[in-house]
Amino acid sequence: MAETEKTYFHLLKQQVVCQLRETYPALANDVRDWKGKEIQYFQEDLMRRANGRVSEKWFYNHFKTEQLRLPRIDMLNLLSQYVGAENWEVFKAEHKIESSEHRSLLLKKAYVFWVGVPLCLVLLAMFYYQNSQPYLYQFCFVNAYSQQPINGGLNITVLQNQQSPYYLDPDQEGCVQLSTYEDELRLVVKGPYYQTDTIVRLMDRGMTTEKVILKTNDYAWMIHVFSKSKVTDWEQRRLQLDSMILDEARIYQMYEQGHIGMELYNKQEFIDKLTTPIRSLKNIEILDMLYSGDKIRELRFRQSKVNEDE
């Protein structure tokens, strides 16, 4: 085999590898590393693009080992058509250059192969490493009206695929930090003074923090304010409470921590309690609230003891 012809054939094999990697980018760059599955991919792609076929034995004889003679001209024509040339002669003509320039081109191709391929592998390894790490994310919760951080009274439930949920509490800045390997994040935000919200996010490594605006539970806030503010028109307050609560509402006073039990109030009993001008009202804390339409049907609250020094 003439040295020039041998060089052209090596170049043709390189073009074959590049052509097949367009369809199967994960293939090894060195054709000598191809085995049964890779050879089958090549056979199928050769049939699809050039309507021809080579046997596995032929592939081993001419692609994976060095031969003294070139393959038959019909096979060279077939491979040339596979890489986009009309035939073997056209392929050589398209790549024909002066011998010195030819050597320079081959050196450049070798440089690209031996330097470029390892670089691609390094970049690929970096990509896989980055994507093998968990997403690190932070949500910061803000009151929709005051625009202040919500640093208490929220229950954050993180929902996971095929795993039990887990729970988080905001820090003093009203933020929670979490890490996840999942591409989609779902969490439920609930608090007695805020409307329940379900947050769904597709994870993005370019975005690591997000501000979430929560709307207040207006009735809970009103009862909270009622319990703390000074009132001169008690009848007006009773009318406001009456319009907020269903007649058949069930209202529970939960005992403080360390005490077992609860008390049950009906609507009128709760209104009486909340409109009685005593100091302990300012220690009422709403725990939970359920609605029917736009009225309260169930309410749970806690009332702590009053500090006599207050």
Band (pLDDT 50/70/90 cuts) for residue 266 is very high
> What tokens appear for 32 in the block?
């000598």
Q: Is residue 308 predicted with pLDDT exceeding 50?
A: no
Note the pLDDT tens digit of each residue in 64-122. Answer: 888 778 889 999 899 999 999 999 999 988 887 555 455 566 556 656 655 655 665 65
As given in the structure block, the two tokens for residue 145 are 């009206």
Count CB-CB contacts under 10 A for residue 279.
Answer: 10
- Predicted pLDDT of residue 281: 57
> Which residues are paired to 136 by β-bridges?
179
Most confident of 41-45, 128-132, 200-204: 41-45
CA distance linking residue 18 with residue 31, whole number of Å = 10
Sequence-ordered strand ranges (E) for 61-148:
135-143
- pLDDT at residue 194, as a whole number: 86
265 alpha carbon, distance to own chain's centre: 46
Q: Are 219 and 227 in contact (CB under 8 A)?
A: no
- DSSP 8-class letter at 255: P
Rounded CA-CA distance 162/159 in Å is 9
Q: Residue 226 and residue 275: Cα distance in Å, rounded?
A: 8
pLDDT given for residue 115 in this prediction: 60
To the nearest whole number, what is the mean pLDDT of the chain? 80
C-beta separation of 95 from 8 below 8 A: yes
pLDDT at position 120 is 57
Q: CA dist 212 to 153, 205, 209, Å?
A: 15, 18, 10
Give CB contacts under 8 A, 24+ apart, made by 24-31. 29/113, 29/117, 31/63, 31/64
Model pLDDT for residues 180-237, shown as the tens digit of each residue: 777 788 888 888 888 888 888 877 766 678 888 888 888 888 887 777 776 667 788 8
| Range 52-62 average pLDDT | 89
pLDDT at residue 129, as a whole number: 47
Of 152, 2, 155, 148, the residue nearest 69 (C-alpha) = 2
User: 244, 219 in Cβ contact below 8 A?
Assistant: yes
Report the percentage of the chain scoring pLDDT > 90.
13
